Amino acid sequence: MKPLRKTTHVRNPLSSTMLASSSVDLDLPLSDVVVVFACSENFVPYLSVATQSIVENACASRRYDIIVLTRDISPASMITLTRQVKSDNVGIGFLDVDAALGDIELPHHGHFRPETYYRLLAPQLLPNVDKAIYLDSDLIVEKDIAGLFDVDVTGYPLAATRDADTIGQIEGYDATVGPYLKNELGMRDPHDYFQAGVLLMNLAELRRTVSPEEFLALSTQRMWRWLDQDVLNRVVNGNYVRVHMRWNYLMDWQHLRRTHIVSNAPADVRAEYEEAAADPAIIHFAGPDNRPWLYPDADRADNFWRYAMHSPYLDEIRGQLEDSRASAAGLAKRLQVIALYKGIMPAFDRVCPAGSKRRRAIITAYMGLGGANL
């Protein structure tokens, strides 16, 4: 395979002085707990809340180094985040993905952004790190993240939680998911599908078994339904350490996930999800909307705002909330969400219950028209 092409992307020269091209160039010891995020400038306020939650729950006797994979975070934001998290046992640094990514176009759709693929570059960008936690930026950490870092992943590429949402879809909520995972993604058992927003990555093992070129070739092969999460599941194919869902509690999206989707999953999956909900170590605000910074009635929104109150971006986050309530565009979006998730979806569930032939036929027709890519 040809080597990745270098990008011709032009940067602010001030920004380039604050970005490292490899973890070797970071002024961080990387001696204990390493946490990796992928983020754009637009998502920095929520990254700030996530990092605040890590800092507040960190153990004083451990060392925590946070690495942000990025392409466009501004120098001002880097300075703000550095000042926010800097302490005797916590540091932060920023890695430039351009050198590894080149000018490859990463396919994405819906609410997904290209940054989601950056986790695939972690083994290459962190050559001096053998193990690291990867976290999406739309979450908060409620316990010491070192508890996840200490999980033994010897001989495995990663540790992750089973995806209760996807398993619930397999078992009747969306009958197209199981065949997609088995026949198109090539999974031996679709019930092994994991949620990639929280990962403990065995970077040494991944470097040994999968090249970055292979990861990116798979990523650009087609428009996968759940993008790089599908790519990781295709590569790992069930060969991972399972950690409890409390380390990646998927918030009760639209207050429908628990009762309409996960409720279809097998008993052990439902039980684990309920245990996670009762005592989450990480709360993941996963979904296309219903995020707590726009919908204060979202599941676990109070937990998010508890950390947001200590973020240097609090005024900006509050401003976005108020704008979503007051602007014409924000009000139109809220009305659309209410109509879809409080009206159309519950009505569809009543007329076409999970597991019914009618439901399968309608979803199959919808997917044939473009489905999740519309």
- The string of pLDDT tens digits covering residues 294-331 is 999 999 999 999 999 999 999 999 998 998 888 877 77
In the chain, where are the structural domains located?
A: 13-330
Q: Does residue 14 carry a pLDDT above 50?
A: no
Q: Does residue 236 carry a pLDDT above 60?
A: yes
CATH fit for domain 13-330, picks 3.30.1300.10, 2.40.110.10, 3.90.550.10, 3.40.50.1220: 3.90.550.10
**CA terminus-to-terminus distance, the chain:** 33
**pLDDT band with cut points at 50, 70 and 90 for residue 143:** very high
H/E element holding 131? strand 131-135
SS3 203: helix
Q: Are 36 and 67 in contact (CB under 8 A)?
A: yes
Average pLDDT, the chain: 88
pLDDT tens profile 174-183: 989 999 999 9
Q: What are phi and psi of 372, to 5 degrees?
A: -65, -15
CA distance linking residue 231 with residue 184, whole number of Å:
11
**pLDDT band with cut points at 50, 70 and 90 for residue 1:** very low
Tokens of 194: 């994991």
Q: Are 122 and 196 in contact (CB under 8 A)?
A: no
Tokens of 351: 């007329």
- Count of CB atoms situated within 10 Å of the CB of 187: 20
Among 370, 364, 194, 179, which residue's Cα sits nearest to residue 269? 194
Q: Are 343 and 79 in contact (CB under 8 A)?
A: no
Q: Does residue 103 carry a pLDDT above 90?
A: no
**pLDDT band with cut points at 50, 70 and 90 for residue 248:** very high
Q: DSSP class of residue 289?
A: S
139-141, strands of its sheet edge to edge: 139-141, 282-284, 249-250
Higher pLDDT, residue 53 or 369: 53
Higher pLDDT, residue 369 or 268: 268
Tokens of 322: 């108020």
Q: Are 94 and 119 in contact (CB under 8 A)?
A: no
CA distance linking residue 138 with residue 284, whole number of Å:
6
**pLDDT band with cut points at 50, 70 and 90 for residue 369:** low
CA distance linking residue 20 with residue 125, whole number of Å:
10
pLDDT at residue number 111: 54
Alpha helices, DSSP H, located in the chain = 13-16, 44-56, 75-85, 98-101, 122-125, 146-149, 164-168, 177-179, 203-209, 212-219, 227-236, 267-278, 301-308, 314-326, 328-337, 345-351, 357-368
**pLDDT band with cut points at 50, 70 and 90 for residue 15:** very low
Q: What sign has the CA pseudo-torsion 81, 85, 87, 92?
A: negative
Q: Does residue 109 carry a pLDDT above 80?
A: no
Between the CA atoms of 38, 39, 43 and 45, what dihedral angle is there, to the nearest 10 degrees? 80
Q: Does residue 374 carry a pLDDT above 70?
A: no
322 CB-side CA count, 13 A? 6
Between the CA atoms of 217, 40, 285 and 266, what dihedral angle is there, to the nearest 10 degrees? 10
Q: Does residue 276 carry a pLDDT above 90?
A: yes
Q: Does residue 68 carry a pLDDT above 70?
A: yes
